[in-house]
Amino acid sequence: MMVLILAVVLIPLLGATINGLFCWFTKRKAHIIAVPAIAIPAIVSLILLARVLQGERFDQVLYWWIPLGDFRVPIGFLLDELSAIMITTVTFVATWIHVYSIGYMDHETPRGYAKYFCYLNLFVFFMLTLCLANNFLLMFVGWEGVGLCSYLLIGYWYEKASAANAGMKAFVVNRIGDFGFMIGLFLIYKHLGTLLFSQAFASAEQLSVGVATLITLLLFTGATGKSAQIPLYVWLPDAMEGPTPVSSLIHAATMVTAGVYMVARTHALFNMAPLSMEVVASIGAATALMAATMALVNNDLKRILAYSTVSQLGYMFVGVGVGVYAAGIFHLFTHAFFKGLMFLTAGSVMHALHGELNLQKMGGLIKKMPITGWTFVVGALAIAGIPPLAGFWSKDEILAGAFMGGHRIIWAVGTFTAFLTAFYMFRLIFLTFFGEPREKHLYDHAHESPPVMTIPLIVLAVGSAVVGLLALAPHGGIVGFLNRTLGEAHEAAGHEGGLTYILMVISVAMGVAGVVLAYFMYMKRMPDPVAMARNFRPVYTLLYNKYYVDEIYFAFIVNPVVGGSRYALWKFVDVIIIDGAVNGVGRLCRLVGGGLRYIQTGFIPDYAWMILVGAVVIYWIGRLF
Amino acid sequence: MGVGLFQYTVLSVLVFLLGALGLMIRRNAIIMFLCMELMLNGVNILFMALARSKGSVEGQVIVLFVMAVAAAEAAIGMAIITSFYRSRGGIGVDRADLMKW
Amino acid sequence: MMINAWDVVFFFLAGLILLSALGVVFIRHPVYSALSLLANLCVTAILYLSLMGAPFIAMVQIIVYAGAIMVFFLFVIMLMNLSKGEYQERAVPWRLLLGLGAAALFAFQIFILAGEWRGVLSPGAGGFGVKALSHFIFTRYILAFELVSVLIFVAALGAVALAKKKL
Amino acid sequence: MIVAIIVVAVKLLILFAVLMLFVAYGTLAERKVSGHIQDRLGPYHCGPHGLLQPLADGLKLFFKEDIVAAESDKILYYLAPMIAIVPAILAIGVIPFGESITLFGRKIDLVVTDINVALLYLLAVSSFSVYAIVFGGWSSNSKYPLLGGLRSAAQFISYELILGLSIMGVIMVVGSFSLVDIVHYQKSMWMVVYQPLAFIIYMIAATAELNRLPFDLPEAESELVGGYHTEYSSMKFAMFFLGEYANMTVTSAVAVCLFLGGWYSPVSFLSWIPGPIWFVVKLVAVFFFLLWLRWTYPRFRYDQLMVFSWKYLLPLALVNILATGGVMILFGGI
């Protein structure tokens, strides 16, 4: 088992190393290395999943990385139901996205091509490290590693100022969250004296509620950064500057879910802190709603998907926040399929339209790109929660969990968000793929993508359609499987027949209503969207400008910090104090040297006696001290 | 009380220090070099005496190495003096004043 | 107090060694200085041969120092064939005093350290053979031996590079 | 104790006398051999076939006016000729010239002293011979002798090395530095058969050490007038002369001991002839070879001398050592 786990983790690293060091050699052939470097771990992780299904577990420290007296940093892996699902999802989705990238990135320079695959493999390596770590610090290594790869890949087209800035923004915003995460780690080590999950969770009961709340809130700060929740979600829409497969893999399917994974992984701590759970659920719900409303009026294909991702991540946090961790992870799992799929189709559209992203310039593309179009529809139906597609099952689990857990407001918000989700997704579909083409020349040049891109689409579409059915598998389905690790917070809530079906019907009805409304507004123009925008101008403007959050951040955080840095830190601290100290040391050295240079006579005999006397002096110094 | 290690040490140190003294008060580069050989010889005497008193041959091995190093040093040193003589027109070490501040 | 014959030999040779060492330091003329050093080295070799039972080292000392190094020194001295003026060094009494002071300090130091060295040296022949010596050179000190060969090789190259007018 | 000292003294006296005899008649031999090689008679008038010529030469040199160069460095000027003969006299002490004989009930070794580093001792004392030339050349304060001295110093260092390396093969085969051991080893077969290359290299290097043609650059008459002894006359010149022939004799004796079987007879049916006589016969043969060489080859140019030493003889000597070692490892000793 250890060999298999090491294979899963290290093969992507090997691929990254080869492409990184020998990019001058692999060039256009980089995918020959990179794709197997992900595909093999994908197969191996399926084997591992099968063995975990049979009840095997793995939790072992391989070696002590930094032994410092009492403080020892382990390198070790933990494979249980949770991490098995995670690595299977990550490697499976990543494999198809790698395949897709072969077609999508074929306009790049040879070196850039190899570099891209190197980063991608490296990302998978760090993601798997994150998922398989059996201690907080190794998890943090993976956490930071995926952040690094995210930064590198967002800024992949670093010649473009907007891409470079977006990368920087992602990095800085993530740092804020990571800072909280790190302090959380310190507190865990301080209070529990260990970094290993197994030991930490076993002794979690010792924590007082206050400390547990503090720790979990700090950890959740990290999660909000990585998983783009309020208030740190602002980087994710900008991250769409990266190549679309990257958006698909990192900023939809895998990395951004790391926060959810982390909360689920540390559920033992969160269970100790009800307040933190409330905070998680509330922030998740608020984020879900806010992001969904922002997606309503946006005209940028990828940004809508990005807001959608933020919104769905909010759902996941609602799941883990109300205590149905398994449902949250299940939604993570299904979301990886359909959101990965939708980003890939968006990439396919961009590929066809030479990078055009504005919805208002598209229309009727389904005739030109049937595979892309229909797979997108599958994904949209899945996210809208139409049964029996994947999103329905997982979303329903979350909403049911929220309702059963007594979080009625959160349930209401989630249900309304489901309606909004269906609406903006089908707005996107109707504007993009149906109706009349609005830009003739774009439409004329559009073409279906090559098979290397469409086959992953089909595979993921099939996945989006069917993975939800895992909920119906024996022994409680996937949720039951995950609950073997995660436990059920609301055992008493159970799944009573009648209420469950009512909730299910409500959420399906909301999804259908959203689809129908979108159909009438954007196909039939029944309530004309333009007129509506005019009638509700203040709301529209507010939504269109994303609640002015970026502007607020600039006004209240960025500018004061920059100003303070410039006037207080630079002009005063740096110039006067630090430079003064440095120059003072320099002057002191010159002074001393100026005195000592008289010794350097350049006359060898003088040096001879200095050596003799020096030997004696050194002996006595050694003797006396 | 016969001649023991102490007397050899005295001899060795005196030879060594005479060499060092020569290095300190002479300014003819060649003679300074000769004095360096003298210092090495002083060290050799001590090594030999220690080898003899400890009943170990290793001191003699070190002496052989010292001789080899002395030969190498003489080769390099003489080459330096030759080229110094050529460039500075003499072998007084006070002619080597370029590195003075 | 009985005077041992070997002690007499030792003090005689030690006296010669110190005398010739003084000669090296204080003789003005480089050729005589070199000659004095030659005498010093030869007497040292005799000391090794007669009192320390190290004929091999004694012979090697003469072959290496008298046969090679000193000839080499003389060769360079003659090559430069310095005029009389070059030998004249201005006497600098304070430098002499400084040197003497440093040397005395160092000697004092050494004798403090070596004060308890009361080991006895049995004088006379009958030391180690060449075999014992070579056994150590080619086993424990093989690395040093090889390094010395490298050193000498590099020194030869360096000497050529330095002394050649243009390569 | 007393007897032992007397025995040593007697042996030394005899050896010294023989050495001087060789020196004296070596000069005559040189002139006669050169004469005959050049198709003339050589000295003829002093005694029968000029046999008393060395005596006449000695007398002449003894009574000649002693000229001292005015600007010379007096101490070294006087010291140099004295050093010239020292190495040869020091060297005879370790050269074995016969098996031990029994005289008046005492077993007497026909060697003054058999030390176990005899060969190193020979090399050590032979390193002094160069000082005579170097000091003589330098102290004369004259340009030709100085050039001779310089040449000699460089030549000496180069060929001393090769001399030492060439006899290493012999030492490896025998496993001892003692000349007596080496001669004993050759009872059945001469070393020259095992070590032909070493013998050739040894003879070349020895010729160079002796400053004889074709290696007589320090005194090259046609270039440097008289080389290092240009400014010497009378007995001082005689001492240089003496030294050269004494060194020749010793070198020949060493060659005989190392390579030509020492005092052993080459063939067994002649082994009734006493060892010392065989030794002298071989010595004379090698001596003659050196004379012959002188009148056969032209002189090297200085750069040729150095190139020959460092580029050809040194690698050859190393190859010889390597080959000897290889054979010894392969066949477990010769």
**Of A151, A44, A54, A56, nearest in space to A87 by CA:** A44
- Mutation choice for A interface testing from B16, B17, B23 by most A CBs within 10 A: B23
Distance of CA D196 to the CA centre of its chain: 19
Residue A268: name the closest of A313, A320, A317 by CA: A320
Looking at residue C1, its pLDDT comes to: 52
Give me the mean pLDDT over the C120-149 stretch: 79
Q: In the predicted model, what is the mean pLDDT of residues A38-45?
A: 92
Find, in chain A, the residue whose alpha carbon is nearest to that of B20. A608
Q: Which residues of A touch B25 (CB under 8 A)?
A: 605
3-class secondary structure, D107: strand
Cβ of D127 within 8 Å of Cβ of C79? The answer is no
Please check the confidence at residue C52 and state whether its pLDDT lies above 70: yes
- Interface test mutation site (partner A, options C89, C90, C105, max chain A beta carbons within 10 A): C105
Of A537, A524, A237, A461, the residue nearest A357 (C-alpha): A237
Query: Cβ contacts (< 8 Å) between C98 and chain A: which residues?
Result: 609
Q: What is the mean pLDDT of residues A69-89?
A: 87
Strand D106-110 to D98-103 pairing: antiparallel
Yes or no, beta carbons of A604 and B32 under 8 Å apart: yes
Are the beta carbons of A603 and B93 separated by less than 8 Å? yes
Flag whether residue C71 sits within 8 Å of chain B, measured between CB atoms.
Answer: no
- Domain coordinates in residue numbering, chain B: 27-93
Contact A255, A226 (CB under 8 A): yes
Mean pLDDT value of segment A501-522: 86
Instruction: Return the domain boundaries, chain C.
Output: 1-91
User: B86 vs chain A: nearest CA distance in angstroms?
Assistant: 19
Residue C52, helix vs strand vs coil: coil
**ipTM for the whole complex:** 0.70
Q: What is the DSSP string of A37-67?
A: HHHHHHHHHHHHHHHHHTT--EEEEEEEEEE
Residue C160 near chain A (CB below 8 Å): no
Q: For residue D274, is pLDDT > 60?
A: yes
The stretch A110-137 carries a mean pLDDT of 90
| Alpha-carbon distance values, A200 to A92, A197, A436, D112, D141 (Å) | 31, 5, 59, 92, 95
**In this predicted structure, what is the pLDDT of residue A44?**
93
CA distances from C162 to B64, C156, C165 (A): 26, 10, 8
Q: What is the pLDDT of residues A45-77, one digit of tens each?
A: 999 999 988 888 888 888 888 777 778 888 899
pLDDT score of C125 more than 60: no
Cβ atoms D295, D33 nearer than 8 A? yes
Is residue A425 a contact partner of residue A383, using CB atoms and an 8 Å limit? yes
In chain D, residues 103-122 whose CB comes closer than 8 Å to chain C? 115-117, 120-121
**Confidence at A39, pLDDT banded by 50, 70, 90:** very high
Per the DSSP assignment, residues forming a β-bridge with B92 are B28
Collapsing DSSP to helix, strand or coil, B91 comes out as coil
Taking 3-state DSSP, the helix, strand and coil percentages for chain B, each rounded to the nearest 5, stand at 80, 5, 15
For residue C69, give both structure tokens. 């190094």
Decide if pLDDT at D123 tops 70. yes
**Cα–Cα distance, A90 to A337 (Å, whole number):** 10
Pairing relationship of beta strands A58-68 and A71-79 according to DSSP bridges: antiparallel
Q: For chain A, give the percent of residues with pLDDT over 90.
A: 18
pLDDT in tens, A405-432: 888 888 889 888 988 998 888 888 888 8
- Report the alpha-carbon distance of residue D24 to residue D240 in Å, rounded: 13
A604 contact residues in B (CB cutoff 8 A) = 23, 32, 93, 96
Is A496's pLDDT higher than 70?
no
Distance from CA of C124 to the nearest CA of B (A): 11
CA distance D281 to chain C (A): 31
Buried b (16+ CB within 10 A) or exposed e, B41-55: bbbbbbbbbbbbbee
Q: Do B24 and A603 make contact, defined as CB atoms within 8 angstroms?
A: no
Whether chains D and A touch (3+ CB pairs under 8 A) is answered by: no
From B28, B45, B74, residue closest to C72, measured CB to CB: B74
Return the higher-pLDDT residue of A133 and D117: A133
Nearest CA distance, C144 vs chain A (angstrom):
26
User: Which pLDDT value is given to residue A45?
Assistant: 92
CA dist D334 and D321 (Å) reads 14
Write out pLDDT tens, residues A197-248. Answer: 888 888 888 888 888 899 999 999 999 988 888 888 888 888 888 888 888 8
Q: Which residues of B touch A602 (CB under 8 A)?
A: 96-101
Segment A423-446 shows an average pLDDT of 84
CB contact under 8 Å between A609 and C98, yes or no, is yes
- Domain B27-93 grouped into CATH 3.40.309.10: no
Residue A492: per-residue pLDDT: 41
**How close does chain C come to D212, measured CA to CA in Å?**
19
pLDDT, position A28: 82
pLDDT at res. A237: 86
Whole-number Å distance between alpha carbons of D48 and D63: 24
pTM over 0.80? The answer is no
Helix (H, G, I), strand (E, B) or coil at D102: strand
Higher pLDDT, C77 or B100: C77
Inter-residue contact A242 to A163 (CB < 8 Å): yes
pLDDT tens digit string along A526-560? 777 777 778 888 887 887 777 788 788 878 888 88
Judged by CB atoms closer than 8 Å, whether chains meet at D146 and C81 is answered as: yes
The whole-number average pLDDT for the span A479-493 is 66
Chain mean pLDDT for chain A: 86
Residue A129 and residue D42: Cα distance in Å, rounded? 103
Predicted confidence (pLDDT) at residue A491 exceeds the cutoff of 50? no
D151 to chain C: closest CA residue: C75
Residue C4: list chain B partners with CB under 8 A.
2-3
Test C63 with D73 for CB contact under 8 angstroms: no
The answer to whether the CB atoms of B14 and C69 lie below 8 A apart is no
How confident is the model over D155-212, as pLDDT tens digits?
888 888 888 888 888 888 888 888 888 888 888 888 888 888 889 999 988 888 888 8
pLDDT in tens, B11-60: 888 898 888 888 888 778 888 888 888 999 999 998 888 888 877 788 88
- Of the listed ranges A15-29, C74-88, D187-201, the one predicted with least confidence: C74-88
Alpha-carbon distances, residue A516 vs A292, A468, A521, A526 (angstroms): 17, 23, 9, 11
Q: What is the distance between the alpha carbons of residues A382 and A387, in angstroms, rounded to a whole number?
A: 8
B66 touches C at CB < 8 Å: no
Question: Are A616 and C109 an interchain contact pair (Cβ–Cβ within 8 Å)?
Answer: yes
The pLDDT score that the predictor gives to residue A493 is: 45
- A324 phi-psi bin (left φ>0, alpha ψ -120 to 50, beta other): beta
* pLDDT band, very low/low/confident/very high, at A91 (cuts 50, 70, 90): very high
Mean pLDDT of chain D: 83
Question: How much of chain B exceeds pLDDT 90, in percent?
Answer: 5
Strands (E), chain B: none
**pLDDT of res. C90:** 59
pLDDT at C166 over 70: no
Q: How close does chain C come to D320, measured CA to CA in Å?
A: 19
D138 CB near a chain C CB, below 8 Å? yes
Q: Which CATH architecture has domain C1-91?
A: Up-down Bundle (1.20)
Query: Which among A300, A297, A296 is positioned nearest to A350, based on CA atoms?
Result: A300
Write the burial class of residue C57 (CB in 10 Å: 0-12 exposed, 13-18 middle, 19+ buried): buried
Mutate to test the interface with B, among A596, A597, A603, A606 (most CBs of B within 10 A): A603
Question: Which chain C residues touch B20 with a CB distance below 8 Å?
Answer: 99, 102-103, 106
Residue pair D191/D170 in contact (Cβ under 8 Å)? The answer is yes
pLDDT band at C87; cut points 50, 70, 90: low
D partners (3+ CB pairs within 8 A) are C
**Band of residue D130 on the pLDDT scale cut at 50, 70, 90:** confident
The residues of B whose Cβ lies within 8 A of any Cβ of A are: 20, 23-27, 32, 93-94, 96-101
Chains adjacent to C (≥3 CB pairs closer than 8 angstroms): A, B, D
Task: Compute the count of residue pairs across chains A and B with CB atoms less than 8 Å apart.
Answer: 33
